[in-house]
Amino acid sequence: MILSVFILIAMAINLNAQITSIDYIKNNKINKMKNSKREIPPVIYKNNPKVISIISYLTIIGWLLAYVLNDQKSPLASFHLRQSLGIYLVFLVSSMFMWIPILGWLIGFLISLLGVACWIHGVISAFGEEMKAVPFLGSDFQNWFAGL
């Protein structure tokens, strides 16, 4: 959890630095090399569905941040917001089972393993900009959270 908070802070700092560098380049305040035709493409996280999709899998705080950043309702970002919210609910259910001694611990552990497998699948599909539903409940997550 702490690691994901540090990642979010680093991304915010990087975003600020990139926006500043883009303004700096636009205002021609840097030394330009003559005969150089190389341009630096702007990277804007706010409207980048891939970045929003990846952030949605970084804890519930990352999910909230991704939800706020998804102001243009990108289909890719919305898909991964629904998938990651469903995965977080799977983890919540597994933690509820952990309160039941012995049999609940076993069931909770198995549900947690399912959640980890779904989380890994979701992160990989977010990095690949694919809209692959997580195994078992992915299509249900899309139906249950269709309003996101």
Could you tell me if residue 84 is inside a domain? yes
- Domain membership flag for residue 108: yes
Which residue in 131, 55, 119 sits closest to 89, CA to CA? 119
- R_g of the chain, CA atoms, integer Å: 20
pLDDT band at 113 (very low <50, low <70, confident <90, very high): very high
Does residue 102 fall inside a structural domain?
Answer: yes
- Domains in the chain: how many in total? 1
Q: In the predicted model, is pLDDT for residue 127 greater than 60?
A: yes
Domain containing 87 equals: 74-148
Residue among 14, 49, 11 nearest 128 (CA): 49
Residue 119 lies in a domain: yes
What is the maximum span of the chain, computed from C-alpha positions, in angstroms?
A: 72
pLDDT of residue 36 exceeding 70, the answer is no
In a domain? residue 12 = no
Write the pLDDT tens digit of every residue in 53-107: 999 999 899 999 999 888 778 899 999 999 999 999 999 999 898 898 889 899 9
The answer to whether residue 57 sits within a structural domain is: no
- Would 112 be classed as within a structural domain? yes
Q: Residue 120 has what pLDDT? A: 93
Chain segment 48-65, per-residue pLDDT in tens: 888 889 999 998 999 999
Which pLDDT band, with edges at 50, 70 and 90, does 17 fall under?
very low
Give 99-148 as a 3 state SS string. Answer: CCCCHHHHHHHHHHHHHHHHHHHHHHHHHCCCCCCCCCCHHHHHHHCCCC
- Whether residue 13 is contained in a domain is answered as no
Per DSSP, the three-state class of 34 is coil
Give 2 or 110, the one with higher predicted confidence.
110
